[in-house]
Structures are given as C-alpha cells and as structure tokens.
Structure 1
Amino acid sequence: MSETSKIPPASTEDTSAVVAPAAGPVSQWLQQQGFEHQALEPDHVGIEQIGVDAAVLPIIAAALKSNGFDYLQCHGGYDEGPGERLVCFYHLLAMAEQLEAMASDPAAQLREVRLKVFLSREGTPVLPSIYGLFRGADWQERETFDMYGIQFDGHPHPKRLLMPEDWKGWPLRKDYVQPDFYEMQDAY
C-alpha cells in the first residue's frame, strides 16, 4: 500500500461537541420578551421548532397568540421510544395575518411555529391545557391523553375520546403491551 492510500489515523480531537441550532425569528422574539425556551432544529420542511417547559407552555402560547399566531393547526404527541421521553407538540399559524397579507401579495409567506414539550414517561405526565386559548385543542388534547396517557390540567372534558372508557394502557406508546383479550360489554 502506498503512503497516499493509507487510512488516516483516528482523530484525537473531541468531535462530540453539539452545536446549538440557530434561533429562528420566533425564538428571537421570545428571547427579546424574556421567555425561557430552547431553539430546536427546524423540521424537514424548515418550520421553526421551539422546546418549552410544561410550566410555561400556556404563557408562551398566549404570548405567541398576542404576536399573531392565532390558529392551532395541530396538536399531538409521540413517543421517542421505550424508556425515552414523550413529546407533545403544538403547531401554530398566523392565519389572520396570512389572509390579510394574501390580499395584497398572493405569494405571502405564512408564519408558523411548532412548540414541543418533552415529558418523562415515569409516573403520570401532566401538561397545562391550552383549551382556554385555542378551543380547537379540545379533541386534540383528549386524543393525546387517550393514546399516550398525557393528562391536561384544566381541560373541561378530560376523558378518553377514541378508546373505551375502561381501556387499560396507552396504545401509541412504544412500550404498550396489547391485551390478549378485550370484551366490550355494551357493543351490541
């Protein structure tokens, strides 16, 4: 083997340092307002994502609503894997602003942001409900409770939406064990 074709020796430098993602415009605005949050990597289509603590979720959601994010397009949850965290996300749009902008410029760019709250799966994960800010959160929070077991404090109807009331467990958690048998007493 010639000298030029040798595999270079492994680097002795520590390459494990993680570079924090650049703060997007919404994250910068939140920072200017003094809100604690974490800028996350944008998603696969470039939508800004922001991590927030459960305790400040309603405060940050209210601040964003006052900043024009007046529409909750989607709320949901997902499980990062057995033993990992549960995640709730809130996708907010500046809809009224968009409709107004499109009147003069049909190619106006929609402002949108996704908030994420990371929760431990130990015990009962609890988040404050944002139903009081966005009425569209009603069934979306109930579905997230039903599938992942995340409870929403202050929700007016905190009960299952899709599964029978006596169902045991949370079917979309990665560590869920499906029961061998389930009998619906009032099915017919």
Structure 2
Amino acid sequence: MQGRVSVWLSQHKLAHRPSGFDYQGIEIIQIKSEDWPSIAVALYIYGFNYLRSQCAYDVMPGGFLASVYHLTKLQDNADQPEEVCIKILVSRESPKIPSIFWVWKSADFQERESYDMSGIHYESHPRLKRILMPESWIGWPLRKDYVVPNFYELQDAY
C-alpha cells in the first residue's frame, strides 16, 4: 500500500520502494543510496523541513547496514505534522551514503554518530570523524560482528 509521500514520489518519477507503515502510521520508504540526494532535496521542497532523527543499525551479522531518516513537515498550527521514514540499506563491504548535511544541518552530529558506531561513510559530510569513541578506536562497536579488542582497558573509557 502506498502512502501520500510514495504517491508524490511516483508522480515525480523518483525511484523508491514503499515499505508500508510503522505502528504509529508513519510511512516507511526504502531507497537506494545513489538516489538519496535527489530524493532528499525533493522531500525538502515538498515541505519536509525538519530532520527529526537519523540512526543506523546492523540488519544482521554479515548482512546489510541500514541508515534511517525520520523527516517531519512542520507548519504553523499543525497539531499532527506529516512524517515519513526513509530507509537506506548499504553493503557492509562498501557502506557509503551521500550526506544530507547540505539539506538539513541537523544531520551533522547524527551522521557522525552513525559513522562512529556503525562505520557508514557519509560522503561529502564536512566533518565526518568519530564523535563518541576516541580517534584511535578500532572498528565499529554497534555492528553485530564486532569483536571487542582485548587491548582496550576499561579505564581508557573514562
């Protein structure tokens, strides 16, 4: 079943795959990484002027990594603003997604955190570097196949 945003994207010939709705009725749309910049700009023009959140997760060990964007259309006197969830799956061998920092500035720290924890490289991000872990940290702690190095001591975390 297609929602309003999916219908609008189809009318404008933007490649996507409708993935239904979540438990709150928010439309979920899956897109390819290479289509993200044009779709992000189109959604901004359509009125999605607020990036509510961005996160990344490991779908399964050895499988895809996902980057998820929750966008909201904020308007005056809107008691129930329209929302959409954009999901992008990338391979763990080459986890690259174009950054949307240039569309929504609030993506800055959120994409950096996803990079730091999951290892997804957000191309053209102006300051893509670790934000939570020390620069010397090896690996991506939130990947399901992550093995904690035995040379890190607990005291180094404080």
Into which bin does the TM-score normalised by the smaller protein fall? over 0.9
Find the residue that maps to 2:66 and give its secondary structure.
strand
Letter of the 1:160 partner, please give it: R
Give the counterpart of 2:48 among 43, 66, 69. Answer: 69
Give the counterpart of 1:116 among 78, 83, 87. Answer: 87
The change in CA–CA distance for 1:187 and 1:177 in structure 2 (over 3 A counts) is closer
Letter of the 2:112 partner, please give it: R
Give the counterpart of 1:45 among 8, 24, 28. Answer: 24
Any stretches of 5+ residues in structure 2 without a counterpart? Answer: none
Query: TM-score when scaled to structure 1?
Result: 0.79
Q: How does 1:95-106 map to 2 (within 5 A)?
A: 95=74, 97=75, 100-102=76-78
Q: Determine the structure 2 residue equivalent to 1:140.
A: 110
Q: How does 1:1-188 map to 2 (within 5 A)?
A: 22-95=1-74, 97=75, 100-102=76-78, 108-122=79-93, 124-182=94-152
- Cα offset, 1:183, TM superposition: 5.3
1-structure distance, mates of 2:82, 2:141? 33
Find the residue that maps to 1:180 and give its secondary structure.
coil
- Cα offset, 1:110, TM superposition: 1.4
- Cα offset, 1:41, TM superposition: 2.1
Task: Kindly report the root-mean-square deviation, in angstroms, between the aligned alpha carbons of the 2 structures.
Answer: 1.8
Letter of the 2:36 partner, please give it: L
1-structure distance, mates of 2:116, 2:85? 22
Letter of the 1:141 partner, please give it: E
Find the residue that maps to 2:53 and give its secondary structure.
strand
The change in CA–CA distance for 1:54 and 1:187 in structure 2 (over 3 A counts) is closer
Find the residue that maps to 2:55 and give its secondary structure.
strand
1-structure distance, mates of 2:153, 2:18? 46
- Cα offset, 1:181, TM superposition: 2.4
Q: Which stretches of structure 1, 4 residues or more, deviate above 6 A after TM superposition? A: none
1-structure distance, mates of 2:157, 2:116? 19
Letter of the 2:5 partner, please give it: V
2-structure distance, mates of 1:45, 1:65? 22
Q: Alpha-carbon deviations, 1:162-187, whole Å to 9, x = none?
A: 00101111000011001122159x98
- Cα offset, 1:65, TM superposition: 0.5
Letter of the 2:91 partner, please give it: S
Find the residue that maps to 2:43 and give its secondary structure.
helix
2-structure distance, mates of 1:167, 1:109? 42
- Length, aligned pairs only: 158
- Cα offset, 1:93, TM superposition: 0.2
Find the residue that maps to 2:77 and give its secondary structure.
helix
